[in-house]
Amino acid sequence: MRRDRHDVVSRGFPFTSATERPQIRATADDGHHHADAIRPDVPCHLTDPMTLHLAAHFFRPSTSANHRVYRDDCGMTATSDRGSAVTAGMSRQEARLTTEHHVEPAPDPTSSTLAFFGSELRLRREAAGLSQTELARLVHCAPSLLSKIESAKRVPKEDMAELCDCALGTDGFFGRLWPVMIRNAYPAWFRPFVDLEQQAVAIRSFEMQFVPGLLQTEEYARAILAGGRPDSVKLEELVVARMHRQRVLSRDDPPRLWVILDETAIRRRIGGAAVMRAQLARLLEAAQIPRIVVQVVPFDVRNHPVLTGAFWTFSFDEGPDVVHMDSFYEGQLRAEPEVVAATHHAYDLLRALALSPEASADLIASAIKDLSP
């Protein structure tokens, strides 16, 4: 059952109910799990302190200069590609995981949901008697990536979380924790926006500077989010969270989406020419979807009613519309009838001033040609 959107506007921290999970796949789409980046601005913290009292574990490297050995707590060993076979039979106290790559320290599980995820994964892997190498094989990723996930330095993809449940017999624990981790990647003020986005039956967006998040490519999103100069882990978390939002457009009952862009948004070379070409191509693909409309307000229009910023409106099956207005530090949600009415009027004017969807597609295609080497 969805939380009433009025709770979203008044309280600002709703928690949407869990949805049915897809079947666990044996491999990721490309046979591997890549965690490409995480987020900049607001630190993410778990809200339930009872779940945060966890023991931290550290691993020590092998002393051999010729190879590194992955050792588990059951006496089983396996060498890296550079090493030769090593006999089994070490004691539990001696058997610690060592790797060719730099050994990552255990994170403080109380620091974030990402750190809690990594700590729990490490604890439950060790309880199952698996080395990082063995679990990495089962979830189809490199041991170095698994080490970084356990150390809260990379964000796992959702199918990897589900595969961890399958491999460790954790009854869906990591699959349920994954959306909580992603939701906490958003700044607190932005979480109500995401909830409204998931509940809306129609979404209208106007953007002055860039393509809206629901239609961004991963590399374009990374380039935008990197503008705040976050560290790599925080950037990765935000990128994964932004891509996760786009699932709303591929569900069985997607909302209708109407996007109006100032021409600035298709001309500014965010991320460079190659990234921008791919982004504009994605925009053209989206414009072919019957439930999505894309229009561009060209430079020829010298003045329009929303030169001061971007805004979104959300419409629902029942109840009034809600407006989200962007600003430099954080956006704000407004549901007052006069604000909603003024926003609708401004959007109607923008639609009248913008090029038709067909002419807008031609302008986007022209912008792609201008980016050609």
CATH (domain of 100): 1.10.260.40
Q: Does residue 169 share a domain with residue 81?
A: yes
Q: What pLDDT is stored for residue 234 in this prediction?
A: 85
Q: What is the pLDDT of residue 102?
A: 52
Residue 18: inside a domain: no
Q: pLDDT in tens for each of the 373 residues of the chain?
A: 444 554 444 333 333 333 333 333 333 333 333 323 323 333 333 333 333 333 333 233 333 333 333 333 333 333 333 333 333 333 343 344 443 445 567 788 888 889 999 999 999 999 999 999 999 999 999 999 999 999 988 889 899 999 999 999 999 999 999 999 988 888 888 999 999 999 999 999 999 999 999 999 999 999 999 988 888 888 999 999 999 999 999 999 999 999 999 999 999 999 999 999 999 999 999 999 999 999 999 999 988 888 878 999 999 999 899 999 988 888 999 999 999 999 999 999 999 999 999 999 999 999 999 998 7
- pLDDT value, residue 106: 78
In a domain, 291, yes or no: yes
| Residue 17 included in any domain | no
Q: Is residue 143 part of a domain?
A: yes
Last residue of a domain, one of 152, 183, 214: 183
Q: CA-CA distance, 283 to 212, in Å (whole number)? A: 10
Same domain, 77 and 222: no
Q: Are residues 205 and 166 in the same domain?
A: no
Residue 91 lies in a domain: yes
Question: Which pLDDT score, from 0 to 100, does residue 88 have?
Answer: 36
- The per-residue pLDDT for 231 is 83
Number of domains present in the structure of the chain: 2
- Shared-domain flag, residues 46 and 110: yes
50 shares its domain with 128: yes
Q: Are residues 259 and 313 in the same domain?
A: yes
Is 26 inside a domain boundary?
no
Asked if residue 154 and residue 57 are part of one domain, the reply reads yes
Q: Which domain covers residue 107, as residue numbers?
A: 35-183
Note the pTM of the prediction, 2 decimals: 0.66
pLDDT, position 7: 44
Each residue's pLDDT tens digit, 335-364: 999 999 999 999 999 999 999 999 999 999
Shared domain for 194 and 326, answered yes or no, is yes
pLDDT at 369: 96
Residues 204 and 82 reside in one and the same domain: no
Within-domain flag for 200:
yes
In this structure, the answer to whether residues 131 and 215 fall within a common structural domain is no
Q: Is the same domain home to 255 and 342? A: yes
* The domain boundary residue, chosen from 131, 158, 183: 183
Q: Assign residue 241 the CATH number of its domain.
A: 3.30.870
pLDDT at 286: 97
Looking at residue 184, what is its pLDDT?
Answer: 86
Report yes or no on 24 lying in a domain.
no
Domain boundary among the residues 164, 183, 202 is at 183
Confidence (pLDDT) at 42: 33
Q: Are residues 118 and 215 in the same domain?
A: no
